[in-house]
Amino acid sequence: MNDESVALRASTGCSDAPVLRERGQREVFCGLTSIVWLHRAMPDAFFLVVGSRTCAHLLQSAAGVMIFAEPRFGTAILEEQDLAGLADANAELDRVVAEVIARRPGLRHLFLVGSCPSEVIKLDLARAAERLTARHGPAVRVLYYSGSGIETTFTQGEDACLAAIVPTLPETDALQLLVVGAMPDIVEDQARRLLSGLGLPAVAVLPSRAESGPVAVGPGTVVMAVQPFLGDTCAALRRRGATILPAPFPFGEEGTTAWLRAAASAFGVAPDRFAAVTDAPRARARRAIAAQAAPLRGRSVFFLPDSQLEIPLARFLTRECGMTAIEVGTPFLHRELAGPDLALLPAGPRISEGQDVDRQLDRVRADRPDLTVCGLGLANPLEAEGLATKWSIELVFSPVHFYEQAGDLAGLFARPLRRRALLQAGGRT
Ligand code: SF4
């Protein structure tokens, strides 16, 4: 093999790696879980889950803190008699929606969120949303998406929700960058500061906070996702004439710089301006990662498929924190969105798509990685077997994007290794 072909392989990373496709038993939260962070990102929306008491319990326990606040989500419980009469279920739904809207002036969106029970009894929530928009619009738009665990993992709930909004967005011809994906306010503010420093003509974010006004979309819109699980949303935006700009995701110093550089290139930002805006935060991010990453260097990591963040996070841990990836599993591999991170991921790990939990656990036990990133349900049994774990759901709840969070992101992975080292040394956490 000559030098050139070696260089080529290095530059394509895992792009051409064979993908192990698995279909079997799954252990993931359903799409309803995403309501826990979506309701914070959309202060003028209400999420009405049309489901069973199980769905209500999931939401209450996943979002337990909300019992202290006026919640902006609820559950319209389907009782057993609803299974016999869909007409009654629709009448009850209309009543509950009217009540929610009357109690909350200022609502702009009400989402009917489908669940396993509503899908099983074939309650047509898409049609119900049209009927209710006709009744309550234009003040409140009623939209439908599915969060059912039959079809979705927990991050797909956000994708389905945002994809449902896209057809309702007003049209614009203006040149703009549309950043897609729910972010904590502090992270969104940082992203906006960086992008406005680069001098982009206009920047919008979907989902939009109430005060930033409605987002418009059209042929002058360049879309950059901040989460790799937004494939349906990007497809819906493309149907509205927008251009999707793939880039590594803004995790860590390298990912953030590559993401910003893609935006800068698309809008013709001069290199010296790019350097002026990014040099200082890049250096800060590198220092912050170095301060956290010592326990990660030279250690191995195994990602079980859960959040769909696995590929960009594996890129971050291997290239910026000195870890070795043994296996990177993801529930769905959106090649268009995850491609740039896959190309940067150093060749070597198994790449798997889908879930067959028993076979994957067998591989974890055989490989005995230093750190396993997995869903909540799998973490305790693996810890009991002496393996250090990280809950992947925490990476979706926590502020982890862009430069100022890069050190915290490394710290989230370092903590379980530090804790295990302390336990092994006979100390206490
Ligand atoms: S939508 Fe399905 S998986 Fe999710 S809580 Fe309800 S019944 Fe359970």
Domains of the chain: 3-26+279-424 (3.40.50.1980), 31-152 (3.40.50.1980), 176-278 (3.40.50.1980)
Ligand 1 binding pocket includes 58 (Cβ within 6 Å): yes
Which of 39-53, 76-90, 112-126, 232-246 reaches the highest mean pLDDT?
232-246
CA 117/CA 148 separation, integer angstroms = 8
Rounded CA-CA distance 328/308 in Å is: 10
Question: Which has more confidence, 8 or 375?
Answer: 375
Average pLDDT on 43-54 reads 89
Atom of ligand 1 nearest to the CA of 148: 1
Return the pLDDT at 122: 83
- Mean pLDDT over residues 140-144, rounded? 96
Q: What's the predicted TM-score (pTM) here?
A: 0.91
Output phi, psi for 300, to 5 deg: -105, 150
DSSP 215: -
Residues in the chain: 429
In tens, the pLDDT along 339-366 reads 999 999 999 999 999 988 899 999 999 9
pLDDT mean over 179-204 = 95
> Taking the chain, what is the end-to-end CA distance rounded to the nearest angstrom?
50
- Determine the average pLDDT of the residues in 176-202: 95
Q: Is 149 in the pocket of ligand 1 (CB under 6 A)?
A: yes
pLDDT of residue 328 exceeding 60: yes
Residue 52 in contact with ligand 1 by CB distance below 6 A: yes
Interval between CA 32 and ligand 1 midpoint (Å):
7
What mean pLDDT comes out for the span 122-141? Answer: 93
CA distance 392 to 379: 10
Q: 354 in the Ramachandran plot: left (φ > 0), alpha (ψ -120 to 50) or beta?
A: left
Higher pLDDT, 56 or 246: 246
